[in-house]
């Protein structure tokens, strides 16, 4: 139980996420699968996937009328929806978990909620709950299943917010009305818990109210009462289990672990046929390597069309990512954060026992690599996915000084470099030991 307490303190000290994280009833190892997972696939699917407009924000920001936005209900068919194929695609990317929008800020549930008729099951030609078959398919593939759920619901008559810069009412003026909303959203969470038992709840939209207003502690306790192993992301007004930077890559290693970067495949979360600003497989893979090097997970987003078809570029990205993650499995899964900056110019990871260091080298780069401050003796260096061994030289080791020399790794033959990132496996004589001084005679 020590770790949650320490992380609660860090949460408090870290400023950016300065809401106390109170963890009382969780099994101490419940985060383990998540920390080992490294890669998740995020899915934004909803009625916004009909016209390819911004998910919920398009009406909220008055880019289109609410009436026009809601007309998309008539176009959500899910007619080519193949949850098994989705799960297989996710599996083949190497991802260990997936998170799907069960309800975005627009209030349209993708499951058959009993709380109201605002669902794909009740109001769209699809006429069904699309979550149940997806969770079943994920679980058949051994992939953890996460439910994205927007706390705020701009469609609900008892929710204060609706369009940008307007409000239905103020909580302080009508607490009974807000109470009705709390009962509504908490009932929906109960439905999700009981019907789907998500491994992960991915909340969003907490920024519109305080933890006290949301009754965030109660929401957390409700979820954990049903499943003490459920993981909750860091958007439950301070009552989550991990930090969630969105789109923006952290420059300094987040002090809060675990953490997860969620990122789109182009510039949009949902289906946007006009958005061709796709990341390349190289960009995706180098971003992913950087994330795991810093001890995080990547939650990479795709946005299927209303009928369930996944854009070709997104399938391509997941396939290329999958080839690479499969080849370099040992350097990715079951590893931990690598060297801190200063030791190596690039991403790295460490085996859990710290006896093996993995160095990530961009594309067809043939090396000229240096490791600084390594006390250990290197037993071998090999190129993952090949039987190529590399030699190295220790440079500048002063016999009477305790400071280790520089490790210069000899060139990687071009023919064994990877199209995206080559990974070197550096086997050490024991757990890694690093010199982090300033090079002075006595430091
Ligand atoms: O579902 C996707 C987005 O629709 C949703 N989260 C991802 C996963 C999302 N979009 N934007 N945001 C979350 C953050 C929004 C922040 C803002 Fe604000 C809300 C900017 C302006 C209003 C909060 C309040 C932050 C600044 C002021």
Those residues of the chain that have pLDDT short of 70 are: 1-25, 442-443
Residue keyed to tokens 């470099």: 417
Three-state SS at 433 = coil
**Closest ligand 1 atom, residue 150 Cα:** 1
342's tokens: 């200063």
**Please, what are the domains in the chain?**
8-327 (3.20.20.80), 336-428 (2.60.40.1180)
Q: How far apart are CA 64 and CA 58, in angstroms?
A: 6
Query: Does residue 154's CB lie within 6 angstroms of at least one atom of ligand 1?
Result: no
Q: What are phi and psi of 383, to 5 degrees?
A: -95, 120
Q: How far apart are CA 319 and CA 383, in angstroms?
A: 22
Query: Does residue 204's CB lie within 6 angstroms of at least one atom of ligand 1?
Result: yes
Query: Does residue 345's CB lie within 6 angstroms of at least one atom of ligand 1?
Result: no
pLDDT of 443 reads 61
**Closest ligand 1 atom, residue 44 Cα:** 1
pLDDT of 8 reads 37
pLDDT of 6 reads 31
**Closest ligand 1 atom, residue 205 Cα:** 13
pLDDT in tens, 100-141: 999 999 999 999 999 999 999 999 999 999 999 999 999 999
pLDDT in tens, 267-309: 999 999 999 999 999 999 999 999 999 999 999 999 999 999 9
Q: Identify the CA nearest to 83 among candidates 149, 43, 38, 130.
A: 130
**Closest ligand 1 atom, residue 207 Cα:** 23
Q: How far apart are CA 351 and CA 425, in angstroms?
A: 10
* Residue of the CA atom closest to atom 15 of ligand 1: 205
238 φψ region: left (φ > 0), alpha (ψ -120 to 50), beta (else) = left
Q: How far is the CA of 41 from the centre of ligand 1 (A)?
A: 19
- Who's near 273: CB < 8 A, 6+ residues apart? 52, 305, 311
CB contact at 8 A, 233 and 240: yes
Query: Does residue 106's CB lie within 6 angstroms of at least one atom of ligand 1?
Result: no
Q: How far is the CA of 203 from the centre of ligand 1 (A)?
A: 12
**Closest ligand 1 atom, residue 57 Cα:** 4
pLDDT of 263 reads 98
**Closest ligand 1 atom, residue 262 Cα:** 8
Query: Which of 269, 272, 298 has the most ligand 1 atoms within 8 A of CB, as the residue to mutate?
Result: 269
pLDDT of 257 reads 81
367 φψ region: left (φ > 0), alpha (ψ -120 to 50), beta (else) = left
pLDDT of 180 reads 98
* Residue of the CA atom closest to atom 4 of ligand 1: 55
- Indicate yes or no: pTM above 0.75: yes
pLDDT of 25 reads 62
Fill in the DSSP letter of residue 437. Answer: S
pLDDT in tens, 2-45: 233 333 333 333 333 333 344 456 787 999 999 999 999 999 99
Q: How far is the CA of 56 from the centre of ligand 1 (A)?
A: 11
């Amino acid at each position: 139980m020590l770790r949650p307490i320490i992380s609660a303190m860090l949460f408090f000290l870290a400023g950016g996420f300065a809401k106390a994280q109170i963890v009382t009833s969780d099994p101490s190892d419940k985060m383990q699968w998540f920390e080992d997972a490294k890669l998740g696939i995020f899915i934004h699917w909803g009625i916004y996937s009909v016209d390819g407009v911004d998910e919920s924000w398009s009406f909220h920001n008055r880019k289109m009328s609410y009436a026009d936005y809601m007309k998309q209900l008539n176009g959500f068919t899910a007619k080519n929806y193949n949850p098994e194929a989705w799960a297989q695609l996710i599996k083949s990317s190497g991802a260990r978990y997936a998170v799907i929008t069960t309800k975005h800020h627009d209030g349209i549930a993708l499951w058959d909620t009993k709380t109201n008729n605002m669902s794909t099951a009740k109001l769209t030609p699809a006429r069904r709950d699309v979550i149940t078959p997806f969770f079943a398919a994920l679980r058949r593939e051994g992939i953890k299943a996460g439910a994205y759920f927007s706390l705020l619901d701009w469609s609900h008559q008892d929710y204060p917010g609706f369009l940008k810069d307007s409000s239905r009412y103020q909580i302080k003026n009508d607490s009974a009305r807000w109470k009705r909303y709390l009962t509504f959203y908490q009932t929906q969470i109960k439905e999700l818990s009981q019907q789907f038992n998500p491994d992960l709840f991915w909340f969003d939209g907490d920024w519109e109210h305080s933890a006290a207003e949301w009754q965030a502690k109660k929401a957390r306790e409700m979820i954990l009462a049903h499943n003490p192993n459920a993981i909750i992301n860091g958007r439950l007004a301070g009552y989550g289990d991990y930090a969630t930077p969105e789109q923006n890559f952290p420059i300094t290693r987040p002090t809060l672990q675990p953490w997860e970067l969620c990122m789109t495949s182009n510039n949009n979360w949902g289906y946007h046929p006009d958005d061709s600003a796709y990341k390349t497989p190289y960009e995706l893979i180098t971003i992913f390597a950087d994330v795991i090097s810093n001890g995080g997970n990547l939650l990479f987003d795709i946005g299927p069309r209303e009928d369930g078809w996944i854009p070709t570029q997104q399938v391509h990205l997941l396939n290329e990512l999958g080839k690479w993650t499969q080849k370099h499995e040992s350097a990715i899964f079951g590893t931990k954060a690598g060297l801190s900056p200063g030791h190596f110019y690039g991403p790295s990871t460490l085996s859990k026992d710290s006896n093996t260091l993995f160095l990530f080298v961009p594309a067809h780069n043939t090396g000229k690599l240096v490791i600084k401050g390594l006390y250990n003796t290197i037993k071998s260096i090999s190129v993952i996915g090949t039987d190529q061994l590399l030699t190295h030289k220790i440079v500048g080791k002063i016999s009477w000084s305790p400071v280790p020399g520089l490790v210069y790794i000899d060139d990687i033959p071009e023919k064994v470099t990877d199209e995206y990132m080559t990974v070197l496996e550096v086997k050490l004589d024991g757990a890694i030991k690093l010199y982090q001084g300033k090079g002075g005679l006595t430091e």
